[in-house]
């Protein structure tokens, strides 16, 4: 396989047509090698428009490339941003965030996945990611507040405890709802007590562990 041609095809045939036009985001997709974060058994499918399984639980997946790109674009990261990711998985989204921000705290509940992600990130040269093995369903208060939060999987609704960990002006993206009606939402903390919500796209994805039942914040 010609990896660079496959990567280019992914960007031009999947990602651009999904309205990902931010050149900085597209540059990062070329810089961060997606196949290096995919499981060995699925590396040949790293550029295909499908979720890739990472483990034996439904939520242990890499999201489709176009979804990851749309999320990254919506967050409008700056080099001084501090980001939190819930659900490290393979470490790929953490790497994308790290390439566009100052520092990323990524929380993974599964120790085996966390170790694989740590190795992937080290091999790719990302030293601005702190990987924590913990239940991230209520965020990660010890490192809060954050400029950006990404929930890398589905949730029935967004917990208030996570929203409270955003700085004013901060942005959060999560895939919210109950299948078959789910949507990726961008939530912006406009002020101490005010939030705005924008729907980015509709999709369906499994709930992250411990998010299926939650005391959630609703708008």
| Burial (CB count <10 Å: 0-12, 13-18, 19+), residue 46 | buried
Pairing mode, strands 129-133 and 82-86 = unpaired
In the chain, the domains with their CATH numbers are 3-217 (3.40.50.150)
DSSP state of 208: P
Give the pLDDT band of residue 212 (cuts 50, 70, 90).
Answer: low
Question: Residue 92's Cα: distance from chain center in Å?
Answer: 8
> What pLDDT is recorded for position 148?
98
pLDDT in tens, 180-211: 999 999 999 999 999 999 999 999 999 999 98
Residues 178-200: b if buried by 16+ CB within 10 A, e if exposed: eeeebebbbbbbeeeeebeeeeb
Q: Is residue 158 classed as helix, strand or coil in its secondary structure? A: strand
**69: its two tokens:** 């790109």
Pairing mode, strands 146-155 and 103-108 = unpaired
Give the pLDDT band of residue 169 (cuts 50, 70, 90).
Answer: very high
User: Beta-carbon neighbour count of residue 216 at 10 Å?
Assistant: 16
Q: Is the pTM of this model over 0.85?
A: yes
Average pLDDT over residues 211-218: 53
pLDDT in tens, 87-135: 999 999 999 999 999 999 999 999 999 999 999 999 999 999 999 999 9
**157: its two tokens:** 């609704």
Q: Is residue 119 classed as helix, strand or coil in its secondary structure? A: helix
User: 146 has which bridge partners?
Assistant: 166
């Amino acid at each position: 396989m010609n990896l660079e041609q496959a990567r280019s095809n992914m960007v031009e045939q999947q990602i651009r047509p999904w309205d990902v036009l931010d050149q900085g985001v597209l540059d990062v997709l070329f810089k961060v090698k997606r196949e290096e974060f995919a499981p060995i058994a699925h590396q040949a499918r790293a550029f295909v428009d499908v979720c890739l399984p990472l483990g034996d639980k439904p939520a242990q997946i890499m999201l489709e490339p176009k979804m990851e790109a749309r999320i990254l674009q919506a967050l409008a990261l700056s080099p001084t941003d501090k980001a939190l990711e819930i659900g490290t998985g393979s470490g790929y989204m953490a790497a994308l965030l790290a390439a566009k921000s100052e520092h990323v705290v990524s929380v993974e509940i599964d120790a085996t996945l966390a170790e694989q992600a740590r190795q992937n990130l080290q091999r790719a040269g990302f030293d601005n990611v702190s990987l924590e093995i913990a239940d991230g369903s209520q965020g990660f208060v010890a490192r809060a507040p954050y400029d950006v939060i990404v929930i890398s999987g589905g949730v029935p609704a967004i917990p208030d405890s996570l929203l409270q960990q955003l700085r004013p002006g901060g942005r959060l993206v999560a895939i919210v709802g109950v299948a078959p009606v789910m949507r990726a939402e961008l939530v912006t903390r406009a002020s101490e007590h005010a939030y705005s919500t924008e729907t980015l796209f509709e999709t369906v994805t499994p709930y992250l562990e411990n998010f299926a039942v939650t005391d959630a914040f609703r708008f």
